[in-house]
Amino acid sequence: MKRSANKYVALEQYDENEIEEINAMRAREIVDGFISLKRLPTEEEKNKWTYDMSTYFKQRWNQLVEKGKNKDPNGMQQNDIEVNVYEEKVV
């Protein structure tokens, strides 16, 4: 790319609403990365987040916690349709 070329010319094809939507999607991807790793962000990381990112993180983290509460010690979720069936062996 030439030094005199406008690096941001590609962004001109998007309107403001589309840019906001793209930024929101990127923000959710960042938060979803923390959720998938089950990792809390550091204070430094949180300071870089927008209000929406923090709110989305809290919502997703609470869902993760609630999901964990619904598991029994055998690893089955209480909401699962599966039922443990034990076969009796006749000796």
Question: What is the total count of domains within the chain?
Answer: 1
* Contact in structure between 35 and 60 (CB atoms under 8 Å): yes
Whether 41 is covered by a domain: the verdict is yes
Structure pTM? 0.59
Q: For residue 60, what are the domain limits? A: 9-69
Whether 18 is covered by a domain: the verdict is yes
Whether 88 is covered by a domain: the verdict is no
11/49: higher pLDDT: 49
Please, what is the average pLDDT of the chain? 77
36/86: higher pLDDT: 36
DSSP 20-73: HHHHHHHHHHHHHHHHHHT-PPPHHHHHTS-HHHHHHHHHHHHHHHHHHHTB-T
Q: What is the model's pLDDT at position 81?
A: 41
Whether 75 is covered by a domain: the verdict is no
Q: What is the model's pLDDT at position 79?
A: 44
Whether 87 is covered by a domain: the verdict is no
Whether 1 is covered by a domain: the verdict is no
